[in-house]
Chain A
């Protein structure tokens, strides 16, 4: 009952036939009444559909779209999302995104806020990256003794060592790492990094409140008063690798090393026991000091893994910039050293200093007089002390911070 040419009627109507096909169908229509009826019906239907859709659509066509406003909104959403990610410290993804902040800032007020924020952000990033770097340096270990049957956990870090990153290194890392949902990051084909849930955040406005909750509150520098303290009860960063895919990747990059298949989908983790942040204001509120104390991370790696092989392999991963890998490989006391990456950007100056008798690092933003940051490690804890003195010229921030640091010497 159907005519072979009928199949083409819709395409004929929609002007989708080739010239030849069109001619052929037109000739056929002259003689086939069945197809004539079909065409008429299809035409009516098609016209009705256009009309029906058109009515509901006319409204939409008249709607004026404000693309600028829409783009601003999108930008804001993307920015919040990036920020949300930073909160979740995950493997090497906390890259400072405002590398050019200083160039684009206009007023002093903005610069100030931005700078402080940048340091905080970098610090978070440092924590996250340090975790990753710790893991990487864990892999650089020649041998670690087995303690538990399935896990060997095992050492506490009591030294820090700076690993220099350039902005190009950062961009390379950033390019390489894909963005995923916050809290869990798929590392392109290699595996997954995630943070255990249940991390609790506590904030106290006064020393009394914190002490009542059972926390020890670090002393305020002389002439400063506590302005809030927040304590995170620690979290664990986990990593699982797909060794098969990772090995393919390595091969693709011409690396002559491979992951031990025993590692496949096995969990590695770094636990940060606790981190504390306290703010202090000077009596006249012109200066502010921020203190962070982070317990040294603990590392857990599977027991039956050949760490010699692992070390070589991880250091050859393509996303690890060569000079960074080199620096990591050069760390001798790998068991007890935490590599802390910092960015050499030409706008901040870095200086190694002695803090309470141990190696520390002083960071100063060149364009920001009165701002400085000191980092050091003592008894397995990492300390970060930041001073924000609102553009006081000629203030020796380094000396001031060093004097504050004595408060926390044990």
Chain B
């Protein structure tokens, strides 16, 4: 029924899906890439995210950028989970390797750290993860509240808690390794 209501009032120059795609695609790919660290997979996931948007009444979304950011985070972790299931099923056991070949020990250590960060993020709850990544992406409290649907007054507290949890998970990861 909404479809009919909007049909009668054609906006003058509404942005097309292509406009939206071109404007936001790079940020979506990068967001996913931060989480996956694998460019080809990130492009795949980003495409899926835009298909999801396409299937929405996307013109009615107030903050398309925020919507896309959160959808990317969600889709990226969904991908991580399904990859894990797949790799355990295939009994390969190995995590997807780093996208860059480690050449020196220093490089390798750095890569280890990156992996630990990714693992810790994966272990976090969905909301905490979204808060951390969106905050890092430069969103303010009000937008964070809107996108993750929490009270704007509690964003600070939730964020503080998410940061602590993240650090604990990270340390546990590192502790496990050594």
In the complex, the answer to whether B30 meets A65 with C-beta atoms within 8 Å is: yes
B71 at the A interface (CB under 8 A):
no
Q: Does A408 contact B (CB under 8 A)?
A: no
Contact partners of A65 in chain B: CB under 8 A: 25-26, 29-30
Q: Choose the segment among B60-68, B84-92, B160-168 that binds chain A (4+ C-beta atoms closer than 8 Å).
A: B160-168
Contacts of A67 in B (CB 8 A): 22, 25-26
**Interface: B21 (CB within 8 A):** yes
A93 to chain B, nearest CB (A): 13
Q: Are B4 and A318 in contact (CB under 8 A)?
A: yes
Give 1 or 0 for each of A1-33: 1 = CB within 8 Å of chain B CB: 000000111110010100000000000000000
Q: Of residues 120 to 158 in B, which have CB atoms within 8 Å of A's CB atoms?
A: 132-133, 135-136, 140-141, 155-157
Residues from chain B with a CB closer than 8 A to the CB of A16 are 140-141, 155-156
List, in ascending order, chain B residues with CB within 8 A of A14's CB: 135, 141, 156, 159
Assess whether A50 is interfacial by the CB under 8 Å rule. Answer: yes
Q: Which residues from chain A contact B155 at a C-beta distance below 8 Å?
A: 11, 16
B33 and chain A: residue at smallest CB distance: A60
Give the contacting residue for A55; candidates B3, B114, B156; CB below 8 A: B114
**B73 interface residue (CB < 8 Å to A):** no
Contact in complex: A53, B47 (CB < 8 Å): no
For chain A, the bracket of interface size reads 35 or more
In the assembled complex, the CB of A171 is this many whole angstroms from the nearest CB of chain B, namely 10
A49 interfacial by beta-carbon distance below 8 Å: yes
A56 and B37 within 8 A (CB): yes
A74–B167 contact, CB under 8 A?
Answer: no
A81's nearest neighbour on chain B, judged by CB, is B51
- Report B-chain residues with C-beta under 8 Å of the C-beta of A245: 1
Report, as a range, how many residues of chain B touch the other chain: 35 or more
Q: Which residues of B contact A46 (CB under 8 A)?
A: 163
Given known contacts A53-B132, A55-B113, A65-B26, A73 and B34 CB-to-CB distance under 8 angstroms: no
A64 nearest in chain B by CB position: B26
Residues of B within 8 A of A61 (CB): 30
Q: Say whether A117 faces chain B, with CB atoms less than 8 Å apart.
A: no
Distance between A8 CB and nearest chain B CB, rounded to angstroms: 7
B58, CB-defined interface residue at 8 Å: no
**Is there a chain B Cβ closer than 8 Å to A176's Cβ?**
yes
How far does the alpha carbon of A60 sit from the alpha carbon of B141 in the complex, in Å? 24
B118 located at the interface, meaning its Cβ lies under 8 Å from any Cβ of chain A in the complex:
yes
Give the residue name and chain of the B residue nearest to A190 (CB).
Answer: B1
Q: How far is the CA of A38 from the CA of B159 in the complex (A)?
A: 14
A284 at the interface (CB under 8 A from B): no
Q: Is the CB of B99 within 8 A of A59?
A: yes
Q: Is A206 an interface residue (CB 8 A)?
A: no
B177 at the interface (CB under 8 A from A): no
A10 with B159: CB separation less than 8 A:
yes
Which residues of the other chain, A, contact B94 by a CB distance below 8 angstroms?
A: none
Q: How far is the CB of A395 from chain B (nearest CB, A)?
A: 41
Q: Given that A55-B114, A71-B21, A74-B50 are contacting pairs, would A49 and B166 also be in contact in the complex, using a CB cutoff of 8 Å?
A: yes
Q: Which B residues between 71 and 123 are near A, CB-CB below 8 angstroms?
A: 99-100, 110, 113-114, 117-118
User: Residue of B at shortest CB range from A70?
Assistant: B25
CA distance A65 to B32 in the complex (A): 12
Q: A14-B135, A16-B141, A78-B54 are in contact. Are A60 and B34 (CB under 8 A)?
A: yes
The answer to whether the Cβ of A252 comes within 8 Å of any Cβ in the partner chain is: yes
Interface residues in B32-56 (C-beta closer than 8 Å to A): 33-34, 37, 39, 42-43, 46-47, 50-51, 54-55
A208 at the interface (CB under 8 A from B): no
Complex CA gap A71/B7 in Å reads 26
List the A side residues contacting B156 at CB < 8 Å: 7-11, 14, 16
Measured between beta carbons, the chain B residues less than 8 angstroms from A178 are 3
Contact A71 B22 (CB under 8 A): yes
Give every chain B residue within 8 A of A74 (Cβ-Cβ).
21, 47, 50-51
With a CB–CB cut-off of 8 A, which chain B residues contact A63? 29-30, 33, 39, 42
A55 with B110, Cβ < 8 A, contacts A7-B157, A65-B26, A249-B1 known: yes
User: Is there contact, CB below 8 Å, between A252 and B1?
Assistant: yes
Apart from A55-B113, A56-B37: 9 A-B pairs, beta carbons within 8 A: A9-B160, A14-B135, A14-B141, A46-B163, A59-B99, A60-B42, A65-B26, A67-B22, A70-B47
Closest 5 CB pairs of A and B: A10-B156, A60-B33, A11-B156, A65-B26, A10-B160
Show 24 A/B contacts (Cβ-Cβ < 8 Å), sorted by A.
Answer: A10-B157, A14-B135, A14-B141, A45-B164, A46-B163, A48-B167, A49-B132, A49-B136, A53-B132, A56-B34, A59-B33, A59-B99, A60-B30, A65-B25, A65-B30, A71-B22, A74-B47, A74-B50, A77-B47, A77-B51, A175-B3, A188-B3, A249-B4, A318-B4
The residues of A with any CB-CB pair to B shorter than 8 Å are 7-11, 14, 16, 42, 45-46, 48-50, 52-57, 59-61, 63, 65, 67, 70-71, 73-74, 77-78, 175-176, 178-179, 188-189, 245, 248-249, 252, 318
